[in-house]
Chains A and B, each alone.
Chain A
């Protein structure tokens, strides 16, 4: 009885898992399917194969601008957030200072705040200060929401770092900056790469803050949202989505490969140093 009971629940678990995967990924699979479909209407049956929608992407100047804006914002936000996050993570791992708990709590707060609140909260003082909205304000907003992720990733990297390695470097006549460059940075590099990629990805598809804080230059998610009003543009959006999907997969694979290679070189168990996967 018990054995068959276990068999039944295992079967249901399998069905649940499969259904879950279909629910999660089927829409994603539809993206490339319709991107190559030779019809303006997004519906079955498929009518034929075409790469026109991809070609059309390059001809849409506003889209190319949006992609460029998004890349600028994502790269800037990733670099800034990771730099600031690394500083905070190192301070948190190394030093005890008064108010450390509350300070770290405040830095991590955007993680749990609804983005719309962050967006409005940022918009109000920016308007009050009379600053104009631009990509810079979007970058600032994205840095704010990316830092907690960066700290979460880098904290484990810094905590796993033996303090005597840095002391050994100082002892061998290296300066503090030289120590950071030659010892600390190479050892936390897998974490830094993970942080850069996570922040890049978060910034790239972030809509709310980008929507509220952008001026005349829009980022990709805002552009896509604006294009959804025109049904004829839908297949193009599908093509765009397909490209982004491919880019994400390539990025993740490269990042994970880099991380495992770094870990293998140091003879550390790959799972032990907190990577992306």
Chain B
């Protein structure tokens, strides 16, 4: 998964942005590496779009600095930054056709007309719109508009492409297709992409690294896998995917790991490798378990470190998966368990008595 050279292309240091008394960004620091697909993920109002606009140069930070490719960007306006943006609305110029839209920035650079035509053609081929040059902007579908906006940015050969919720206007099927295509395109050309999105699934699929933002702060910056497996806080855990939260109390901490008493599951020791570094033992009151980290053990013998009895209280059938709600014996609230519908596994009806398998590695500790 790791992409890029490891060199920083964008260095954000202590950036804040105040709008009157409202502080949209409360001190953001992050290094974005050259060639990586970086996502700013968070609910609306978390400041992710504000941060993207600061990078693009449409807005200035109240304090802090942003450097792109080693150059401080203070006082450098948007039209002199090595970034290009794909807008949420796509911002396709309605009075120009597709080729004129894509060639707009090259014309600004006073490139000779023949060369513009060649570059535009290449860019349109890259986004699978080879014969669309003479189409009027209003003749395009949503997905095509998105591609034109992308081609218009790529043709400038920017150091960084900024994408502001580029897929949110598309229907589900097209969105999923574009997620894969965008990712493949980014990897083949090797330009740094920064994506703003509120869709955690989209961020997981596309990114090398994700910065999860809440209320103007980065809550966690990590790879998708790290973020999903080891969310640092309960808030991050519930924002990324589904997480069961189980009440727990701290017992001890030693070379074997951190031992906690978890309601319904019992006493368990989490090995040191899975304990987050800045863990404050005294504040432990909850642990998390992902739905797929539980297994409903079938009659056939399956390996499970530990097993806890419970009763199925509901199920949702998704075709490839079934999501169960299970009330563990001695548990407070029911938990969610996801099971793959593999051969020979039938959907269990409500009321079924089951044995739920799990292990110490299923448990997530929060800071």
Contact = CB atoms under 8 A, between A and B. Distances in A.
B141 interface: no
B160 to A, nearest CB: 12
Contact of B94 (A172, A175, A187): A187
A178 B109 CA distance: 12
A171 interface: yes
B250 interface: no
Interface stretch (B131-139, B255-263, B285-293, B351-359): B131-139
B139 A178 contact: no
Given A165-B93, A187-B95, A267-B94, A171 B56 contact: yes
B87 interface: yes
B308 to A, nearest CB: 53
Contact of B89 (A162, A169, A182, A268): A162
Interface string B42-74: 000000000000001010000000000000000
Contacts of A268: 94, 138
Contacts of A168: 85, 87, 91, 93, 152
Nearest to A178: B108
Contacts of B93: 165, 168-169, 183
B156 interface: yes
A173 B109 contact: yes
Residue from A174, A178, A186 whose CB has the most chain B CB atoms within 10 Å? A174
A186 B95 CA distance: 7
A172 B104 contact: yes
A266 B138 contact: yes
Contact of B78 (A171, A183, A186, A267): A171
A178 B110 CA distance: 12
B303 to A, nearest CB: 55
A4 interface: no
Contacts of A187: 94-95
Contacts of B104: 169, 172, 174, 182
A164 interface: yes
A266 B136 CA distance: 8
B79 A170 contact: yes
A6 interface: no
A171 B84 contact: yes
Nearest to B100: A182
B138 A171 contact: no
A3 interface: no
B108 A173 contact: yes
Contact of A165 (B77, B91, B138): B91
A265 B136 contact: yes
B52 to A, nearest CB: 12
Interface in A160-197: 162, 164-165, 167-175, 178, 182-183, 186-187
A173 B80 contact: yes
Nearest to A164: B91
Interface string B138-154: 11000000000000100
B247 interface: no
B156 A172 contact: yes
Contacts of B152: 168, 172
Contact of A167 (B87, B109, B136, B138): B87
B359 to A, nearest CB: 50
Nearest to B162: A171
Given A173-B109, A266-B94, A164 B89 contact: yes
B137 A267 contact: yes
B105 interface: yes
B79 A174 contact: yes
A267 B87 contact: no
A265 B137 CA distance: 9
Contacts of B89: 162, 164
A172 B105 contact: yes
A100 B83 CA distance: 35
A78 to B, nearest CB: 23
A274 to B, nearest CB: 16
A246 to B, nearest CB: 33
Nearest to B88: A164
Given A162-B89, A165-B93, A266-B94, A170 B138 contact: no
Given A165-B93, A170-B78, A173-B79, A267 B108 contact: no
10 contacts: A164-B91, A168-B85, A170-B58, A170-B79, A171-B84, A172-B104, A172-B156, A267-B94, A267-B136, A267-B137
Top 8 A-B pairs ranked by shortest CB distance? A267-B138, A172-B105, A168-B91, A164-B91, A266-B94, A170-B78, A174-B108, A164-B87
Interface of A: 162, 164-165, 167-175, 178, 182-183, 186-187, 265-268
Given A162-B91, A265-B136, 10 more contacts: A164-B88, A165-B93, A167-B91, A169-B104, A170-B79, A171-B85, A173-B109, A173-B156, A174-B108, A267-B137
